[in-house]
Amino acid sequence: MAGPAARRLAVQARSYGLNVHMGRVNSRRRLHIAQDFGCTGCDGTYLTFGPTTNLPRLLTWMDELPAVPTALGDNA
């Protein structure tokens, strides 16, 4: 599970202009966590299992995300 220490590390890395990647993003919840951390990329196996059903869901999740990562403006 992604915890406060991981978030602080990701935010600090982004403050240095580094890219941050999160793996195992296979749910709406994890996608929002990756966004909150300021991740510049993420991946998972969600589309591998039932791509016909899961692609529309994933696209809906992507549409729900704010345009600007939330962690970049934080002082976490």
pLDDT digits (tens, 9 = 90+) for 11-31: 999 999 999 999 999 999 999
Residue 66 pLDDT: 85
Rounded mean pLDDT, 52-69? 89
**Residues 42/23, Cβ–Cβ less than 8 Å:** yes
pLDDT of amino acid 21: 96
Query: Is 66 domain-assigned?
Result: yes
How much is the pLDDT for 75?
44
Kindly report the pTM of this predicted structure. Answer: 0.84
Residue 16 has phi, psi (to 5 degrees) of: -90, 0
Does 75 reside within a domain?
no
- What local confidence, expressed as pLDDT, does residue 76 receive? 43
**What is the domain count for the chain?**
1
Give domain status of residue 76, yes or no. no
Q: How high is the mean pLDDT of the chain?
A: 89
Q: Where in the sequence is the domain holding 35, given as residue range(s)?
A: 4-70
- What are the backbone angles phi and psi of residue 72, rounded to the nearest 5°? -65, -25
**What is the number of other CB atoms lying within 10 angstroms of the CB of residue 9?**
13
d(CA 58, CA 76) in angstroms, rounded, equals 28
Whether residue 63 is contained in a domain is answered as yes
Q: 28 lies in a domain?
A: yes
Non-local CB neighbours of 3 within 8 Å, separated by 6+ positions: none
